Each structure stands twice: as C-alpha cells, then as structure tokens.
Chains A and B, each alone.
Chain A
C-alpha cells in the first residue's frame, strides 16, 4: 500500500489546464495549412504529390467554395497532413506557397470550411448548444484503422480528462446525445452505423473524426468503402487529420459544446 502511495507521488499531477494553457506539440507537427499565394501559373507540383487528391487548382470554370478563381484549394477533409505538397512546391519553386502551421485548431462546423484557399474567410459558427453541461457520445468505428480511435480514446486519460468538461463516451447509443464516427464506413459496417445512429434519441449530433470519416480519405477510391459519414446523416462537426491530434478533437468537441 505504501509503495502505491509513493508511486502516486512519483507519477505527479499531469492534467493540462486546457484551454487556459496550451499543449506542447512536437516542433515537427503539421497543423492547419495556409496557402500563401495563388499565383501558381501552370504549376501543379502540389497536386501531383498529394496521395489523396486533396488539392485542386482553381479556375473560372472550377471555382473554390468562396468563388476563388485561382491558386490551389486544399481540402483538409481529404488531407493526411503529410506535407508532401509543401515539399513539392518548395522543390519546384524555391519557396512553398503552402505552409503547414503548428495550429491544431483544425475542426470545422461546415464541410466547405475545411477547404483552404489563399483567401481568408470567416468559418461557420457551431450550432446552438442544446445539451448544456452534459454531452454524451457514442463512438462508432467503421473501417477506422485504430489510430483515430486511439486518439479519441486517449481523451479519457488524465492528461486530457475529458470528463471534467462534462463530455463522456457512453456504451449505449440510447444514452447518447450524438455519435462520433471514425473510418471511411465500410460496406460491411453501413447497416450497423445506420442502426446505431437511429438508436440515438433526437435531438442528436453527428461528428466525423479523421479524413476517412470526412471524405473516405485514402479509401475514397475503394469499392468497399462509402466515403465517410456525409450522406448517411447530417454532420455537425468535422475534425480532419490522419489521425487528428487529440487536442484537435478536444478543441472541436469543446467548441461544439459551447
């Protein structure tokens, strides 16, 4: 018993006072991308380097979500945050027009807000908080590789201490205010996802975590997958990444909860 107490002292107090204090992320972490210029000419090195076709070049006939007509549009909903585009641009042009910042605030409340262009814009605000101080979620993994699942699960550990924010993951959809979905939604999970969603009492929210759940990600071209949660239900929160950093998920949940 004494050894347990002594070890308890050894292990210290480790919960971060989030969001008052900010997490210490790796200097090599790639967060929210920025597009610095849109004068790309005919260059499409970034597009060619992208493993998930997350980048397209805008034009008058292929405008961006805010009617931008030139430069690259990077869809964070498809992005793996691998940085290959920035590297390719730098190799071709000396400096890169795409820069990945250390900003982990990547969550968005509207799908088109995940599309980054050179033009700044004001993102959509979260839906009105209807759940007050208590927010219960049911997680569904539907083809997720266990990375998004792990970085969602980790929010329950004492570093993040999800429970202190009034948010918790529950075992039954009947006890939940919404679902968190990870994975591209495989054909073999489609029925289970719909059944779980329908078992959640209304009003209810749907949250897509990870590029697979948002767009199909790496599996968007697979005939065994359904390209994520959009199309199965109305999604209120998107947290992009492969997988998203746990702080990105927590930030999204807290902003959704209001």
Chain B
C-alpha cells in the first residue's frame, strides 16, 4: 500500500524538485544582484535594494502566490505561462529578499583591508569587487545558499494551493481517494524530512566549519542561519 503511494508521490516529488531547482537559480541570481546593490557606493541603488527586501519580506508567500495566480494569471496564461512558472517566480522573488541579506552579510565579512588593497593596486570599485572581494566571499556563502534551498523546499509545498502538481497536491489528491489522511500525510512529511534533514545537518556542520576556518564574526554566522519566510 505504502509502496503504491510512494510510486504515485514520486511523480509529484519530481515536480517539487524542479520547482526548487529553478527557483533556487533565480533566487541566487536576484539575491546576488541585491547584495551588490546593498554595498554599492550609489545611494539610490542601496535604497532600491532595501525597498525590495522590505516589501518582499512583508508579503506572505501565499498572498504573493495568490496575487500572481489570480491577478497576473489572467495575462500570463495567454503567454503560455503555467501555474508552475508562476510558482517558480514567486518562490524565487520571495526567497531572494532573504538570501540577498545573507549575501550582503557575507560580502561585508570580507575585511575592508581587501578593498583598500584593490584600491592601492589602482583597481576600480567594480574590479575590486569582482576580482578580490567576491572570490573570497564565495566559500562563506555556501551554507547560506544551502539554507536557501532548504527554505525553498519547505516553501514549495504552498505551490499546491495554486494547483501546481507537486508532491503535496499529489498527496492531497491521494487522500481524497482513499480517505487515509493520517497515513498519507505522515508519509508525505517523512518524504520531506528524508530530503531536508540531511541538508539541515550538512549546512549546520558547514556553518561551524566556516566560522572556525574563516573567522567569521558571530553576526555574519547568525545571518547565515536559516530564516523563516512566510
């Protein structure tokens, strides 16, 4: 019985993993852009990044999904965009606001003497950022990125509410057929845990390792902790 459920849920799980994969790519890119805007010498860029973060951290993810689905869905459907694509965009825009702040903290953790070294070599702000600061910021950015993937995985369950055929929706449909909610949802929870718990442990371990190896300040490490998104 459970074997049958698992084979049905497997299809949904593939959709969940696709949701997480695509939205992780977009969220990383948007988050990186936000982080650079945050540390840029131009005030309007910093201000815009703060505005983005303030707004997207305030909107509950489910409300954002409904907004995209009900309001923009009318137009995007004509463009051939499925609820899946809308969910990817929503998950990414929401998570970028969190990971952008994490990346900012990571870039800030690079000592300011490195910036000065770049300047003293006659490098521009942009060149210093690209050739000196970002390469040093990459290793400490890993646990934060892993946490982002974890958060996206948890958040992707909400996509079921705009009828994306991911694993939670598959489980709900299964329940409506066999009326065994306790058993099916327990299996569903275990399925999520089987993927997320190892990732959580891995990111904790990495965080501690990097805190020692790179001497990150407590504040930077706290910023790397998984942040809850609504």
Chain A partners chain B: no
